[in-house]
Structure 1
Amino acid sequence: MDYKCIQCGCSVKTLYLQYSPGNIRLMKCENCRAVADEYIECEIMILVIDLILHKPKAYRHLLHNVINQKTMKFQGLLWKLAIVFLLFEAHRCLILESGKGKTGSLMSFSSLVSICLKVLADVLFGNFMFLLTFFIMIKIFFHVSITISRGIDLLLILMISSYFKIFLVAMMVWEFPSSVIVIIELFCLSSNAVALKVMTESTMSRCVWTCFFAYAIKFLVTQILELMLLGQLRQGWSQISSSFLKSA
């Protein structure tokens, strides 16, 4: 990822010149003649608000000019984001299960096993199918080959643009209906689409359909896995109970 002008998306050599500590001059883009990155002198809250408003220039600043392979330890950042992302996904699954009334202080052992298997299947296999579908849609819609470097970039933008999942933490403090998760997922989908558009400079419709198919496949796969796990667990526990009754 090179430095980019947040206005037009053209590459720039440098974003500012530093004359002394605290004394800098923002550089202008040679293409559009505007300041290449005005967020350098802005407060962090302005950037956060613009990200929530889905402004492409805010995403260009974050994805190209802040998180840059030349200036950051990419591998370490990717692993940390992956762990946080999976933890948020596991928390989302637990919230959904509690909304169904499957969690509680008097929960049976079979229910606990069922919930643990459901969370593992949703977090691991569900997200694997999400990424697989996402990469396939990228190859189909954008006609590009998925190299290791490009794959890392795409993984990074997916995890960063899913920052709306942090609002799941608020559900640990305040009681919200589980339907709020649908709103959070929709915000993540739209944020993923904007980030993909900024990275690929493609049309918004292609980016939206790419993310939509990935989320749809993930949802279908997790629902099918849940039905299969419930059926197998019921069959297993019935066999165990019947064998126990026969031995008794």
Structure 2
Amino acid sequence: MAYRCVQCGFPIKTLYVQYSPGNIRLMKCENCKAVADEYIECEVMILLIDLILHKPKAYRHLLYNVLNQETVETEGLFWKSTLSFLLLDAYRSLILESSREDWGSSRSFTLLILTCWKMLMDVFFGNLMFFSTFLIMVRIFLRTSLGNPRDKDIVLAISISSYVKVWEFPSLVIFIIDLFVLSSNIVALKVFTESTMSRCIAACLSAHAVKLFATQVLNFRLLGTWNNDGVQKISS
């Protein structure tokens, strides 16, 4: 992955020239003639604010110029970001379950096991459906082939663009956060693939919808199994 100008996305060989420690000169883009990446001299908080504001140039800086294959070991970063994504999704599921259920001492051990099992299925099965659908939709809408080296980069971009899940938030606004994650995924996909906004929206929305549908169906089946077992125990 080559460096990119954060303004227009044009490939660039180097972002700056260093004359001495602490003395650098930012390079200009040959295409738009602007400074290729002004975030190099900015505080991290400024980058974070621009990411929250969904500015494409902030995503170009992060995905192309920070997470560059020449400077970052992307294989390890891919697995770390995927694991972090799953852990944060488990935390989200825990918040939802704690808001729906009474987590007091009166809960039976069997119901506790069922709840933990449902959380694990939500996280692993739901995200398996999410990423599988996402890659298929990318192939359909963005006309890329499955199994190529860019698949890992795309999954990495989606995982990192879900950074908002690390925030502390009450369960009442969790679905607003989900919408924000969806919009972040769309911007990251558009920046990384340089495709049209409508195609990126279709790909991301399809993946999130399939994940929601799959987890809801799974939860209904688990709840039905629990209710049937409970009725049988009571009747016996």
TM range (shorter): over 0.9
1:217 is matched with which residue: 204, 210, 217?
A: 210
The residue type equivalent to 1:51 in the other structure is L
The residue type equivalent to 1:125 in the other structure is F
How much has 1:102 moved relative to structure 2?
A: 4.0
Per-residue deviation, residues 200-225 of structure 1 (Å, max 9, x unmatched)? 11111211121111111111110000
Give, in whole Å, the separation in 2 of the partners of 1:185 and 1:20.
Answer: 45
Look up the match of 1:154: 154
Q: Provide TM-score, normalisation by structure 1.
A: 0.91
The residue type equivalent to 1:212 in the other structure is L
148-157 or 47-56, larger mean C-alpha shift: 148-157
SS at match of 1:33: coil
- Native 8 Å contact 1:117 1:229 kept in 2: no
Residue 141 (structure 1) aligned with residue 141 (structure 2): yes
Look up the match of 1:192: 185
Write out aligned runs for 1:66-85 (5 A): 66-85=66-85
Q: Provide TM-score, normalisation by structure 2.
A: 0.96
How much has 1:148 moved relative to structure 2?
A: 4.0
**Aligned pair count?**
236
Segments of structure 1 that go 5 or more residues without pairing to the other structure are none
Residue 115 (structure 1) aligned with residue 111 (structure 2): no
Please tell me the root mean square deviation across aligned C-alpha atoms, in Å: 1.3
Look up the match of 2:99: 99
Residue 47 (structure 1) aligned with residue 47 (structure 2): yes
Residue 206 (structure 1) aligned with residue 205 (structure 2): no
SS at match of 2:9: coil
Per-residue deviation, residues 100-132 of structure 1 (Å, max 9, x unmatched)? 124223211122022111101100000000011
Per-residue deviation, residues 45-67 of structure 1 (Å, max 9, x unmatched)? 11011000000000000000000
- Native 8 Å contact 2:141 2:202 kept in 1: no
Give, in whole Å, the separation in 2 of the partners of 1:206 and 1:149.
Answer: 21
Give, in whole Å, the separation in 2 of the partners of 1:104 and 1:189.
Answer: 33
How much has 1:238 moved relative to structure 2?
A: 4.2
Look up the match of 1:232: 225
How much has 1:239 moved relative to structure 2?
A: 4.3
Segments of structure 2 that go 5 or more residues without pairing to the other structure are none
Residue 58 (structure 1) aligned with residue 51 (structure 2): no
- Native 8 Å contact 1:10 1:31 kept in 2: yes
